[in-house]
Structure 1
Amino acid sequence: MKTISQVYSLHVTINNMLYPKEDKENRILLYACRNCDYQQEADNSCIYVNKITHEVDELTQIIADVAQDPTLPRTEDHPCPKCGHKEAVFFQSHSMKAEDAMRLYYVCTAPHCGHRWTE
């Protein structure tokens, strides 16, 4: 992300800030003084970038009804860390991030629990 000093230039002769302005006819970006007619062409046509990253906790994306899915494998080797119930369904899922490896997700099959975890 650019700093304010990288976005706005300075009109050195009268010590005023120059503001981004579009030259629609020539399709270029200019920096213009608001107090006089001084203008200069911008070095870069991008004046601002707003990058938004949305990270969602993968465990919250697991549907609670997955514990009743008869097609999922079940295990008694990984008891629920929340309620201690011995049975859990599990499945393998991959992250949307390329750097993350595949991992197993577990869901407690106890009707009163439904806790989700990964190891």
Structure 2
Amino acid sequence: MEFCPTCSNLLQYEMRNPARFFCRCCPYVSPIERKVKIKRKVQLVKKEATPIAVGEKNVGAVTDASCPKCHHGKASFHQAQTRSADEPMTIFYKCMNESCGHNWKED
């Protein structure tokens, strides 16, 4: 997409010989060259990932939910909006039984 440098409107493409961009609001015209120019190179820097949770700690709140796998009576949970804003939040659970650790969700 190219924009007019004088009035900032979107330039229109016109297929002529040579092809050109033109502005519908002002007399600006820009010919299109056949060679592709790289205007600038941006060097991307790889960032180190930041851990959200460290180790096996349960960082969510604890509730009396029953695990569907081992039927343990305690689970940690957190909520997230996974669908549109007019839908209810999804609740993600993790069993507090150290030998189980089962994850499940409730929509």
TM-score, L = length of structure 2: 0.42
Which structure exhibits the higher relative contact order, with contacts defined as CA atoms closer than 8 Å and separated by 6 or more residues?
1
Q: Which has the higher helix share?
A: 1
Q: Which has the higher strand share?
A: 1
TM-score, L = length of structure 1: 0.39
